[in-house]
Amino acid sequence: MLVKTFGAAVQGISAIMVTIEVNVSPGIKFMHVGLPDNAVKESHERVASALEYNGYKFPRKQIVINMAPADIRKEGSAYDLPIAVGVMAADEKLKADALADYVIMGELSLDGSLRPIKGVLPIAIRAREEGFKGFILPKANAREAAVVNNLKVYGVENLKDVLEFFNGIRELEETVVNTREEFFENVKHADVDFSDVKGQENVKRAFEVAAAGGHNIILVGPPGAGKSMMAKRLPTILPPFTLHEALETTKIHSVAGKLDGNTSLIARRPFRSPHHTISDVALVGGGTFPQPGEISLAHNGVLFLDELPEFKRSVLEVLRQPLEDRKISISRAKFAIDYPASFMLVASMNPCPCGYYNHPTKECVCAPGVVQKYLSRISGPLLDRIDIHVEIVPVPFERLSDRRPAESSAAIRERVVQARQVQERRFKDVDGVYCNAQMSSKQLRTFAIPDEEGMNLLKQAMTRLTLSARAYDRILKVARTIADLDASEVIHAQHVAEAIGYRSLDREGWIG
């Protein structure tokens, strides 16, 4: 008897429906076709053991399993459950009437219990689009799938529960999540706050400007000055997630298998901080079976690279294209996958190997030329793509011991949100641009033209600092953001002056 069950294959952050055709007939062969990988082929042993452990007899007949479309590679162990259901239905041990109404996915243990799988959210979205009535999957993934409305989600713990459900012996409990209620309940919760930071008012201002315009930022300063502490607080002043952004970010983390069983929707902007020993592929994504990298996991959030010069040169250079295009394309011989990568880059570094170049009280012990060699590990093209450069110095004891509360993240975020609202109105007719950092050169000529005094000041800076054309664009973008924070439609000289001040590493003679 021929029976069809339905699953899905994840490509990038989208899913493609897979029809699993099972035919049981007299004979002794077991054939698995449709471009399955080794994990899918090994399902025979898991399915047979799970069925027998739960009191069902695996058919000793010829079984042919085809996974269509046959030209798409099927990967992983998530097809165990639909294969087991299909085999039982094809052997007439299971009623097949309702199989066409459900997408079924799950990895089987040898005792029939179900293990969690990856990519549940994209599969649930595709199931709803294809008009399926419900989605049967491991209980550990049920809350993640229940984010999708107009789709019944049934989380199950054991293969026997699924078989008895289709035979009409038992009912499965539907998992229901109030997506909007949970999202807005968690969206403003944060464990850290800028009120914890004493002093560093100029650096806080730089972070406010960066958050308001979506600009990349690099902090240069000695050990213990507070670089990492402040970077970790940047997500607390970014505008709250919209529901669309949260869904998009959750899809990426779902595909990468980074969601735990209690998470239904990511409500706070991600903060990713990879170690400097990370490989190129781990950062940008890819591999034999492509997976999202750190830059995609930081989508709509912050990617923090601590001790930037310690990263391998090749790792840093692969960042250049994603920083411009806000996506990463992974190409293979037979397919290409695009992962979104719209993140804010925050980098920090010591000014020299010993860490105390330009320190107010400690003397640098580095040999002549070492400082320049250390900073040259970061290429000029990459540095040009970072809008804001900030020097940070240690906070004196008087400021550290000050008991007066500093400005909270909520107060800073309020100004940031107001500036972002100005930008939303400005770019409402421009596709793909939501903040000043995303403006193209053509849009700069429309929206970021300084007044005459500001233009003269910029001309002098370009000549004296020998800035590149890209640095010129960055200054205009940052100046536009500073003017937005001041609720000024015109970019004045003081806005340009502050933006130029955020190009510390471009200043001639900064090294020695």
For residues 492 and 219, give the distance between their C-alpha atoms in angstroms, rounded to a whole number: 26
The DSSP code for 23 is E
Both tokens of 217, joined, read 């930022």
Share of the chain above pLDDT 70, in %: 96
Would you say residue 193 has pLDDT above 50?
Answer: yes
Span 155-177, average pLDDT: 94
CA atoms within 13 A on the CB side of 8: 31
- Whether the CB-CB separation of 18 and 59 falls below 8 Å is answered with no
The DSSP code for 109 is P
End-to-end CA distance of the chain: 81
More confident residue, 140 or 506: 140
Binned at pLDDT 50, 70 and 90, residue 188 comes out as low
Task: Give the tens place of pLDDT for each residue, 321-367.
Answer: 898 888 998 887 777 888 999 999 999 999 888 888 878 788 888 88
Residues 6+ apart with CB under 8 A from 41: 32
Name the nearest CA neighbour of 220 among 317, 397, 320, 359. Answer: 359
For residues 79 and 47, give the distance between their C-alpha atoms in angstroms, rounded to a whole number: 10
| Angle (nearest 5°) at CA 227 between 223 and 228 | 100
Task: Give the tens place of pLDDT for each residue, 382-440.
Answer: 888 899 999 888 877 666 667 777 888 999 999 999 999 999 999 988 888 889 998 98
Would you say residue 30 has pLDDT above 60?
Answer: yes
What was the pLDDT predicted at 511? 47
What was the pLDDT predicted at 393? 84
Would you say residue 469 has pLDDT above 70?
Answer: yes
More confident residue, 205 or 471: 205
Binned at pLDDT 50, 70 and 90, residue 207 comes out as very high
What was the pLDDT predicted at 187? 65
Task: Give the tens place of pLDDT for each residue, 69-95.
Answer: 998 889 999 999 999 999 999 999 999
Binned at pLDDT 50, 70 and 90, residue 472 comes out as confident
Span 492-506, average pLDDT: 89
Both tokens of 332, joined, read 């293979």
Residues 6+ apart with CB under 8 A from 128: 148, 149, 150, 151
Helices (H) and strands (E) counted in the chain, each on its own, are 22, 18
What was the pLDDT predicted at 400? 65
More confident residue, 497 or 333: 497
- Whether the CB-CB separation of 124 and 151 falls below 8 Å is answered with yes
Would you say residue 456 has pLDDT above 80?
Answer: yes
- Whether the CB-CB separation of 89 and 99 falls below 8 Å is answered with yes
Binned at pLDDT 50, 70 and 90, residue 189 comes out as low
For residues 252 and 178, give the distance between their C-alpha atoms in angstroms, rounded to a whole number: 21
Both tokens of 280, joined, read 């190129």
Span 57-80, average pLDDT: 93
20-34, 198-212, 398-412: least confident range: 398-412
Name the nearest CA neighbour of 24 among 94, 109, 105, 101. Answer: 94
The DSSP code sequence of 315-342 is HHHTTHHHHHHSEEEEE-SS-EEEEE--
248-257, 370-379, 483-492: least confident range: 370-379
1-15, 460-474, 478-492: least confident range: 460-474
Share of the chain above pLDDT 90, in %: 61
Both tokens of 199, joined, read 């002093």
Q: Please tell me whether the peptide bond between 69 and the residue prior to it is cis, using omega within 30 degrees of 0.
A: yes
For residues 319 and 249, give the distance between their C-alpha atoms in angstroms, rounded to a whole number: 19
Would you say residue 509 has pLDDT above 50?
Answer: no
What was the pLDDT predicted at 273? 96
Q: Which helix (H) or strand (E) holds 293?
A: none
Share the mean pLDDT of the chain. 90
Would you say residue 512 has pLDDT above 50?
Answer: no
What was the pLDDT predicted at 507? 58
Task: Give the tens place of pLDDT for each residue, 82-138.
Answer: 999 999 999 999 999 999 999 999 999 999 999 999 999 999 999 999 999 999 999
Binned at pLDDT 50, 70 and 90, residue 55 comes out as very high
List of long-range contacts for 9-12, beta carbons under 8 Å, 24+ apart = 9/72, 9/73, 9/74, 9/75, 10/118, 10/119, 10/122, 10/123, 10/255, 11/72, 11/335, 11/337, 12/255, 12/290, 12/337, 12/338, 12/339
